[in-house]
Each structure stands twice: as C-alpha cells, then as structure tokens.
Structure 1
Amino acid sequence: MKTGRLEAFSDGVLAIIITIMVLELKAPEGSGFAALRPVLPVFLTYLLSFVYVGIYWNNHHHLFQAVKLVNGKILWANLNLLFWLSFFPFVTGWMGKNHFEANPTALYGAVLLMAAIAFRIVIYCVVQNEGEASSIGRVYSTDKRMNLSLFLYTLGMAVSFIFPIISLLIYLGVALMWIVPDPRIEKALKD
C-alpha cells in the first residue's frame, strides 16, 4: 500500500488535535493586560504543546516521504502514535489550568514519553518493512537523540514531583532537540 492515505489521515488527526487545544484558551475577563496574567500558564502550555504537535507532524511527514510502502503493522503503529498524541489537549489543559503543579506536569511527561515510544514503534515497523539496508534503516540504525529523549521524559516525570518547573524546562529542552527534522532523512531522499 502507498503512504498517501496514512499521511492524509494523520494530517487530519493532528489538525483536529491542534484545534481542540486552542479551544482551551479562553478570553479573560477585563480588557487590561493585567487580565492576561491568570491565563498565561494556559497559553504557555498550549504553546509548548503546539510546538510538540508541530514537531511530530514535521518528523512524521519527513519519515513518510522516505517510505515506499506501508503494511498493516505500520498502519496500526501509526494509529498507536495518533492515540497518544490525541491526549495532548487533555494534558495541556490540565497542566495549564493547574499552573504546572506536580501531578499534571508528570502526566504531561507520561504522554510525551508514550508518544515518543509510539513514534519509535512506527520507525521500527517501517525499518522492518523497508529493510535495515534501506535509506530509512540506515538513518535510524543509530539514533541517540531518540534514546536521550526517552530518558529525559522519564527524568522530567520524576522531577515533576519535586520541581515541576524544572520538568517543564526538560520537556522544552527535548522539544528544542527535535525542532529541526532529522536532516539524515532529507539526505537519504537525495541519495
């Protein structure tokens, strides 16, 4: 099977996720800038989550530009990824409304961790289908950034019970690591 339907469905789901997240932003009472202060945590959480959804969309798009064909395993692995990404609006809203308290921040990290694991499963299924000698197989045979991300999400979850703000900085740091899509895929596409 070609990748077009998988990509179109994934794009639609990610667009819906972003739409649901923005609906959590409620206009404050009052017209002064001081009225924005109470909604700042909600906005900052939305901003971080928007960046994460953008990162997943970007890396997903790059990955499937290099994939020749998909099979049932890849389709289910992709649905697993979309399942975890679909929790972003919930954890984004909960963490923002509760001003980065420990439990919401830990759950936010857990969803980030599960989405990262799910993306790794997608990559595993793609490499299994395309072969380890394929361009995708060569790109992802050594991916230290992915392993570091999983470690940092786990660390962020643990730290959130002591210093939730440090957890947010860890989550932001991981996002910054992934903000630029993997240039190895573009190079593999050119080769």
Structure 2
Amino acid sequence: MHKNRLEAFSDGVIAIIITIMVLEIKVPHGEHLADLLPLWPVFLSYVLSFLYVALYWNNHHHLFHAVKQVNGGILWANANLLFWLSLIPFTTGWMGENHFAPLPVAVYALDLLLSAIAYTILQKQIIRSQGQASVVKAAVGSDVKGKLSLACYLLAIPLALAGLPLVAGVLLFAVACMWLVPDRRIERQLGVGGP
C-alpha cells in the first residue's frame, strides 16, 4: 500500500491536536496586561505541548520519507501513536489549569512516555516490514537519544508525584530541547539535506 493516505491522515490529526490546544486558551475578561497574568500556566503548558507536537510531526515526516510502502502493522502502529498524541490537549489543559500540580504533571509525563513508546513501536514495525537492511534501521541504529528520552519521561513521573513537578517539568523541557535539532539520521542515510 502507498504511504500517502497515512501521511495525510497523520498530518490532519496533528493539525487538529494543535487547534484543540490553542482553543483551550480562554481569552481573559479585561483589556490590561495584568488580566493575562492568570493565564501564564495555561500558556506555558501550551508552548511546551506545541513544541512536542511539532517535534513529533517533524520526526514523523522524516521517518516516512524513508518508507516506500506501508502495511497493516504500520497503519496500526501509526494509529497507536496518534491516539497517545491526541491525548496531549487534555493532559496539557489539565496541567495548565492546575498550575503544574504534581498529579497533572505526572499524567502529562505519562502521556509523553506512552507517545514515545508508540513512536518506538512504529519505528520497529517499519523496520520489520522493510527489513534489517532498511534505511530506517540504519538511521535509527542504537537510538541513544530515543532511549534517553524514554528514561527521562519515566523519571519525570515519580519526580512529579514526589512533589517536585517543577523539576519534572524542567526535565520534560530538556527532552524537548534535545530534539529541537531535527533528527537528521534518516536524511544522512538517504544522502539528502545538510551534514
């Protein structure tokens, strides 16, 4: 099967996720700068989540650039990823509305962990389908950055529950920063793009 419909559907779902997140930011009743101050936790959680969704979209695009065809396993693995990403607006809203309270931060970190696991499953399903000599297999390699991300998400959950949601939040932000430079492993394998 061709990959075009999977990519178009994924792009549409990701666009909807971002739209839902921004619609959750309520306009304040007032015209002064001070009226915006109560919104800082909501806005900050939106910025972090927008960054994460954009990172997933970017890496998903790179990943499927190396895929020639998809099968049922890849379609279901992709749907699994989209499911966990689709919960980001809820976990973002809960975290922001509750001013980064421990449990909402832990649930947010759990959603990011499950999204990362789903992305890993998608990569493995593509490799299984395309073979051990595939571009994706060569590009992913030992996936140190991916494993480090999973470990950080896993660590952020108990940190938040232990009453350190700020530390957990900083850890989650650090993971996002680690992925700010697009993953160029696939581009290098395909011989396109920069260094």
Note whether the superposition's TM-score is higher than 0.5: yes
1:47 alignment partner in structure 2? 47
Name structure 2 gaps, 5 residues minimum.
Answer: none
Name structure 1 gaps, 5 residues minimum.
Answer: none
Query: Given the alignment of the two structures, is residue 171 of structure 1 paired with residue 172 of structure 2, yes or no?
Result: yes
- Structure 1 residues 136-145 or 146-155, which shifts more? 136-145
Give, in angstroms, the shift of residue 141 of structure 1. 2.5
Distance 1:2 1:64 in 2: 11
Distance 1:134 1:27 in 2: 49
Q: Is the 8 A contact 1:132 1:141 kept in 2?
A: no
For normalisation by structure 2, the TM-score amounts to: 0.96
1:84 alignment partner in structure 2? 84
Runs of 4+ in structure 1 off by over 3 angstroms are none
Partner amino acid, structure 2, of 1:144: V
Distance 1:179 1:85 in 2: 18
Percent identity among equivalent residues?
A: 54
1:186 alignment partner in structure 2? 187
1:18 alignment partner in structure 2? 18
Q: Is the 8 A contact 1:100 1:165 kept in 2?
A: yes
For normalisation by structure 1, the TM-score amounts to: 0.98
Counting matched residue pairs gives 191
Distance 1:8 1:128 in 2: 23
Give, in angstroms, the shift of residue 190 of structure 1. 1.6
1:105 alignment partner in structure 2? 105
TM-align CA RMSD: 0.9
* SS, match of residue 160 in structure 1: helix
Query: Given the alignment of the two structures, is residue 36 of structure 1 paired with residue 28 of structure 2, yes or no?
Result: no
- Structure 1 residues 22-31 or 113-122, which shifts more? 22-31
Partner amino acid, structure 1, of 2:179: W
Give, in angstroms, the shift of residue 32 of structure 1. 1.1
